[in-house]
Structure 1
Amino acid sequence: MKMELQLLVDKDCQLQKFPGKGGWTFLLFPELLVEKKTPFGMRKVSGQIDSYEFAEMTLMPFGKGVLFLPVKSEIRKKIGKGEGDWVRVRLFTEAIEETEDELMTCLKDAPLALERFLQLPEEEREMHIQSINDLKIQDRKVEKIVRLIEQLERNL
């Protein structure tokens, strides 16, 4: 499976803490919006906080459509930072190119659908690819590709 990392965030952020005993320490990302198509709007990311590299951490909804990243004590100890300190953050999300390859292979067998797909605005094409990509079960991906091809052939 071909994976390409897409940069989401590359900036300095201040570590914050929820008030009260046992409150989580976190980083807030108001520029990243909750994705409505994922469970509870959560999003898996990999990246780096200062010198600490990580894979598969979860951005979680903070409220008002923005996301935050909990920063475990293990990470804070390794980078020597705590609440109020500034850290350099780079976050990546994985973009799976395989879905686009699968879709294009199927569309080549349906020339009319391919022609109409390529006439769609790039944003709409990417939306279709992402909606297929978001499905975890291969059979559902196939069903979605078939429905898309049928819609394109009917010019919907």
Structure 2
Amino acid sequence: MANFEGTPLVEGRFTLQKFEGKGGWTYIELPKIDSNQKRPFGWISVSGVIDEISFSRVKLMGMGNGNLMFSVNAKLRKRLRKEAGDAVDLKLIEDSYEQCVPEEIILCLKEEPSWVLDNFNGLPPNEKRKAVEKVLDAKNEEEKVDRIVSLIDKLSK
């Protein structure tokens, strides 16, 4: 298994499962993960490795029974060459946006008066994480630029 930095939330061998019916998701059911952090809808954002294939910024969703679900979409299954019933090695690390703000965002904030970056750094961790996720979730570079400009506007007020 590839090496990933940080203490794993989950590490082991798991079997791909599939919900019944047409269009049923393929997933890995994971045990409950305890954490002190409050998360919307109980989601946990993770990065990691599945059978030597790295991925980032995937949300684990609650299954309603206390366990979590790691969805394995068709594109990833194709790369893995695996389907429901097959076993995979999985290692998950919790994403930590509070500690890892992309350099492009920091550089844009540094081009503004120093108090704009101070305002960003002074945001509560959850708000800072949401701001970074919003920028990173842009569909293209133009949208990313627009979102960074919007963030700077909000921080400038």
TM-score category by the smaller chain?
Answer: 0.5 to 0.7
Higher Cα Rg: structure 1 or 2? 1
Separation in structure 2 between the aligned mates of residue 91 and residue 137 of structure 1, nearest angstrom:
19
How much is the aligned-residue C-alpha RMSD, in angstroms?
Answer: 2.7
Structure 1 unaligned regions, length at least 5: 99-131, 139-156
Q: Does 1:20 align with 2:12?
A: no
- The DSSP-based 3-state class of the residue aligned with 1:32 is coil
Normalising by structure 2, we get a TM-score of 0.57
Q: Deviations over 1:33-81 (max 9, x none)?
A: 5877211111110001102110101100111222111101111111111
Moved over 2 A (4+): 31-36, 94-98, 132-138
Q: Which residue in 2 is equivalent to 1:80? A: 81
> Which residue of 2 is the match for residue 41 of structure 1?
42
Whole-Å separation in 1 of the counterparts to 2:96 and 2:71: 23
Determine the structure 2 residue equivalent to 1:52. Answer: 53
Amino acid at match of 1:136: K
Q: How many residues align?
A: 103
Residue-by-residue CA offset, 1:99-129 (whole Å, 9 max, x unaligned): xxxxxxxxxxxxxxxxxxxxxxxxxxxxxxx
In proportion to residue count, which structure has more strand? 1
Amino acid at match of 1:134: N
CA distance in 1, matches of 2:69, 2:35: 10
Q: Which runs of 5+ in 2 are unaligned?
A: 100-123, 131-157
**Distance in 2 (alpha carbons) for counterparts of 1:26 and 1:47:** 15
Query: Which residue is equivalent to 2:153?
Result: none
Percent of counterpart pairs with the same letter? 38
| Counterpart mapping for 1:89-108 below 5 A | 89-95=90-96, 98=99
The equivalent position to 2:128 in structure 1, one of 124, 136, 145, is: 136
